[in-house]
Amino acid sequence: MIKMEQNQRYNLEPFGILVNTGKIREIKPVLLEFCDYLQAKNVKYVLEESLYVNIPELASSLHLSRQEMLEFSRSIITIGGDGTILNAANLIGDKEIPILGFHMGELGFLAELSRFDYKDKMNHIIEGLIQLDNRMVLHSETRNGKNCTCEFALNDFVLFKGLSPRMMTLTVEIDGYFMNTYQADGLIISTPTGSTAYSLSSSGPILTPDVPAIIINPICPHTLSQRPMVIDANRLIRITFEQVPQGAYLTADGQHVDKLNRKAEILIKKAEHNVRLIRCKDYSYFDVLRHKLNWGKR
């Protein structure tokens, strides 16, 4: 079972800072303030080199390419939303460099910091008074004709039918045993972390991050009796297609999209590595759920 690592101090410097450049106008004043804070605390950090072009005020800070930053940094700070964290997790791959999320919006479940509380939390994080939240990752192998591609997903893999108004028909096997044939608009294969993402909006269950399980959740199934399925994380999922009106697509955390042919075969299993999220000592997953989902409010 995945547990949080705690009861020790961590040296997280130097920090590498990754930013959602698509929201650079909104992020710029917060990033400038954050860098001033880090400099005042004598904290070592490095910025992605593309920021120098967008924000000349940061010219005096150290800038590196993304690959160089990953080699230089002990931990990564992402500034944006959950999508920025997912992108960082994809870049880091199996290196397991800890990630500290700085959230600019309202709904994100993964980030620890916000523009309203980052100073108080960072004071403890700089001292190494943290816990590491280990999150399960999924690995996919897609055999698409002569091509074979592999992807990782912290949230989910999503199969969908593109622009066709007709449903797709796909077959799911678990450890080589036939499980079900779905007629649906698509299928979500989700981690416990992803249980509060697309799967939740498709009436899937919420799993706490330490549950070693995978959710198989059909999107708008033709038969109402086809409900979300939770299976042990150590099982192997195989997906094939019986009918795909105009082609199918596979996304990994919404970061990559692969078009599939009708003979495509997808194998999904738990990855060998985790994604490590930096948390303050007082972090509670249930507090996050209550706040983000407005539990207890009318």
Q: What's the pLDDT at 192?
A: 98
Q: Is 30 helix (H, G, I), strand (E, B) or coil?
A: helix
Asked whether residue 95 is domain-assigned, the answer is yes
For residues 176 and 265, state if they share a domain: yes
Asked whether residue 57 is domain-assigned, the answer is yes
Q: What confidence tens digit (pLDDT) does each residue in 215-247 have?
A: 999 999 998 889 999 999 999 999 999 887 677
Q: What's the pLDDT at 5?
A: 61
> Catalytic positions, please?
82
Q: What's the pLDDT at 297?
A: 76
For residues 159 and 230, state if they share a domain: yes
Asked whether residue 235 is domain-assigned, the answer is yes
Q: What confidence tens digit (pLDDT) does each residue in 30-48 have?
A: 999 999 999 999 999 999 9
Q: Which residues of the chain have pLDDT under 70?
A: 1-8, 106, 245, 298
Q: Is the pTM of this model over 0.75?
A: yes
User: What are 224-233's contacts with CB under 8 Å, separation 24+?
Assistant: 226/180, 226/182, 226/184, 228/199, 228/202, 228/203, 228/204, 229/179, 229/180, 230/205, 231/174, 233/136, 233/270
For residues 248 and 187, state if they share a domain: yes
For residues 118 and 185, state if they share a domain: no
Asked whether residue 155 is domain-assigned, the answer is yes
Asked whether residue 176 is domain-assigned, the answer is yes
Asked whether residue 20 is domain-assigned, the answer is yes
For residues 189 and 257, state if they share a domain: yes
For residues 149 and 264, state if they share a domain: yes
Phi, psi of 7 (to 5 degrees): 65, 30
For residues 259 and 191, state if they share a domain: yes
Domain that holds residue 237: 137-272
Q: What's the pLDDT at 6?
A: 56
Please, is 263 exposed, middle or buried when counting C-beta atoms within 10 Å of its C-beta (0-12, 13-18, 19+)?
exposed
Structural domains of the chain, count = 2
Q: What's the pLDDT at 243?
A: 80
Tell me how far apart the terminal alpha carbons of the chain are, to the nearest angstrom: 36
For residues 184 and 251, state if they share a domain: yes
Which CATH number do you get for residue 63? 3.40.50.10330
Output Rg (C-alpha) for the chain, integer angstroms.
Answer: 20
**Residues facing residue 276 across a β-bridge:** 134
Q: Are 104 and 115 contacting, i.e. CB atoms less than 8 angstroms apart?
A: yes
Q: What's the pLDDT at 1?
A: 34
Q: Is 54 helix (H, G, I), strand (E, B) or coil?
A: helix
Asked whether residue 7 is domain-assigned, the answer is no
CA distances to 116, 200, 288, 295 from 235, in Å: 42, 22, 29, 33
For residues 268 and 148, state if they share a domain: yes
Q: What's the pLDDT at 7?
A: 54
As given in the structure block, the two tokens for residue 105 are 């919006």
